[in-house]
Amino acid sequence: MMLYTLLLQKRQVCLFILCILTSLAVTAQTRITGKVTGSDDQLPVIGASVLVKGTNSGTVTDVNGNFSITAKQGDVLVISYLGYVAKELAVSSQTNYSISLAPASTALNEIVVTGYTSERKKDITGSVSVVNVEDMKSIPAGSPEQMLQGRASGLNVTTSGEPGGGSNIRIRGITSLGNVDPLVMIDGVQGSLRNINANDISSIQVLKDAGAAAVYGVRGANGVIVVTTKRGAGKAKITYDGYTGTQVPLQGNVFNLLNTQGMADLTWLALRNSGQVAANGNPTHPQYGNGVNPVIPDYILIGGTSGVTGQPTQAQIDQYNVDYGKGGIYQIVPANKQGTDWFHQIFDTAPINSHTVTAAGGADKSNYLFSLGYFDQQGTLVNTYLKRYSLRANTTFNIKDNIRVGENAYIFYRDARGTPAGNQGEGNPISMAYRQQPIIPVFDIMGNYAGTRAQGLGNAQNPFANVDRVDGNQYNIWDIQGNIFAEVDFLKHFMARTSFGGTLDNQYGFNFGFRTYENAENNASNSFNETAQYNRQWTWTNTLSYNQQFGKHSVKVLGGLEAIELRGRGLNGGALGLFTDNPNFRTLSNGSGGFTNSSYVYQEALSSQFGKADYAFDDKYLLSVTVRRDGSSRFGPNSRYGVFPAFSA
């Protein structure tokens, strides 16, 4: 009986343990992965929210629409994104999901500018993304190009990071040979997003496929970004939009670099492993000596002499005097035994400011909008900045109920200084910040720049010297862009429109190159370069549109003619060996040799005819046909014209 009782108790304990294990298995967390796409264009939805319902656990999709989250069976995932209907998904034993979000009905009824016309998004057969401008403006940046990053599916923006720097914009990757930049249309005129005041923008549409962009012909081969600026409406009002802030560079050991002793030990190890040792079996180095272990010197000397300990003698100072006619530059360098933090020598906290004042209003007969903008961004990289002053004037006047005239004008002045050698080039200061040896300080014993003129320390340049020496270099742009237009409605269903506009800009810049006496590969002579150019482009567009509704049938027809001309000139000059580094004498005529000069001129024209027809039945079945014929002056008479059709349903 006692044996039976023991067996029964043992069985109950086993059952209890089994229940606990089963419970743990049921509540075990599992890594759930998936991809979110839009049902309208089948493209990844970037930045969609994925949340475990009833908890604070969540994540967002990456640039490919993928996500990863921890959940258990029975949990419900809530997937949402602005402009799409939120979706709930119950987690089962499956660990990977493909999720398709349907556009919200309000988004489908949104009016979209798709090129020469506007229409409801639900009536578009091509692939079009609408950018939320207010969300885009939440990013503090000097260019709408940079703000567009991650704002539309299929749109990839790679920025240089410097204030006012250019960006590489790609719509659905690289789709053609040669120039792969998308066409940017601002109020019907070809332009650039780089210097537009984001506070003036009303809407941005991205036309991503042939069905949507074909009306622009060959220029739309890489996709089209259509920008519409704001217009006045309602009672007169004055508004202010602005911010001020601080940009903070990364902290700590950003590049995970060794300190001076660590670099010396690694050098010693590399020399031993490669057999570069003296007769006694020890490595020999111009700065670290020839002992069993490397010795960090007190001072670094140029030439083949080893580093020295203690204060250099006057004889050594005289020996290592490098004189390029500047009164003596003594390259005796106090070794930085702790290691120089080169990253934070060239990066520092920097302010950013944006201010826009807008006056706008409108009534039955007219509307107007005037804005004045100022943007000032100091780069976290020392001596880089962007300052832009802008003025916009948009007006419309109703001469009669069916006749309208108006204009869009934008003027800006830009003063900017970028990264020396470009922040993605081989010789830029950022790459030098992780190439330069930590033993080298910023300055030598006489307050001149220190560098790799000492043997055994590589051939990198002093990154602080690189950014400090650009102070005084300038590049300025004066630009005006816009158009004037007239519209006439007639015979109830027809509208004729003519628009003439373009851009006119002047650019001027200069830069001075110093003697880089401190570098292993140094410039023995200073230099001066000066450049100037102007560019002009005009576009004349004439369209006739027809819009009619027959019961459940809807027909839209557009035909147009367009002429475009571009021309410009530029020149550049350079000289070496200016007799002084004084900024007041930086002219080409003060050079003593190495004179260079170049110039260029270009002129081209495009003549086009285009047509577009859209048919819809019962708001369900859509058909669109587009054809454009472009003639370019770049080609000979026998191959000047091309026809670009598109069909979608």
User: From CA 588, how far away is CA 529, in angstroms rounded?
Assistant: 7
- Please provide the size of the chain in residues: 649
> Which H helix or E strand runs over 641?
strand 641-648
Checking if the pLDDT of 324 tops 60, the result is no
What average pLDDT does the structure give for the chain? 86
* b/e burial code for range 507-517 (CB count within 10 A of at least 16 → b): bebbbbbbbbb
Position 435 scores a pLDDT of 93
Ranking 396-400, 417-421, 556-560 by mean pLDDT, the lowest is 417-421
pLDDT digits (tens, 9 = 90+) for 203-254: 898 888 777 778 888 888 888 899 999 999 889 999 999 999 999 999 999 9
Are residues 75 and 31 in contact, defined by beta-carbon separation less than 8 angstroms? no
Position 573 scores a pLDDT of 97
Position 648 scores a pLDDT of 84
User: From CA 243, how far away is CA 198, in angstroms rounded?
Assistant: 13
Checking if the pLDDT of 382 tops 50, the result is yes
- Greater model confidence, 115 or 544: 544
Position 121 scores a pLDDT of 63
Are residues 99 and 34 in contact, defined by beta-carbon separation less than 8 angstroms? yes
User: From CA 476, how far away is CA 576, in angstroms rounded?
Assistant: 23
> Distance of CA 364 to CAs 235, 488, 493, Å?
11, 16, 21
Are residues 36 and 99 in contact, defined by beta-carbon separation less than 8 angstroms? yes
Give percent of the chain with pLDDT exceeding 90.
49
Are residues 355 and 197 in contact, defined by beta-carbon separation less than 8 angstroms? no
* Tokens coding 462: 């002093």
Checking if the pLDDT of 535 tops 90, the result is yes
Position 624 scores a pLDDT of 87
Report the phi/psi class of residue 289: left, alpha or beta, with left for phi > 0 and alpha for psi in -120 to 50.
left
Cβ–Cβ contacts within 10 Å for residue 239, how many?
A: 11
Task: Please tell me whether residue 308 adopts helix, strand or coil conformation.
Answer: strand
User: In the predicted model, what is the mean pLDDT of residues 486-497?
Assistant: 92
Position 180 scores a pLDDT of 85
> Distance of CA 343 to CAs 28, 256, 348, 467, Å?
45, 11, 9, 12
User: From CA 291, how far away is CA 280, in angstroms rounded?
Assistant: 9
Checking if the pLDDT of 417 tops 70, the result is yes
Q: Give the burial class of 332: count Cβ atoms within 10 A of its Cβ; 0-12 exposed, 13-18 middle, 19 or more buried.
A: buried
- Under 8 Å CB-to-CB from 253, ≥6 apart: which residues? 341
pTM listed for this prediction: 0.79
Are residues 286 and 304 in contact, defined by beta-carbon separation less than 8 angstroms? yes
What would you report as the CA-atom Rg of the chain, rounded to the nearest whole angstrom? 33
| pLDDT-derived band at 5, boundaries 50, 70, 90 | very low
Position 199 scores a pLDDT of 94
Beta bridge partners of 60: 49
Position 549 scores a pLDDT of 86
Checking if the pLDDT of 3 tops 60, the result is no
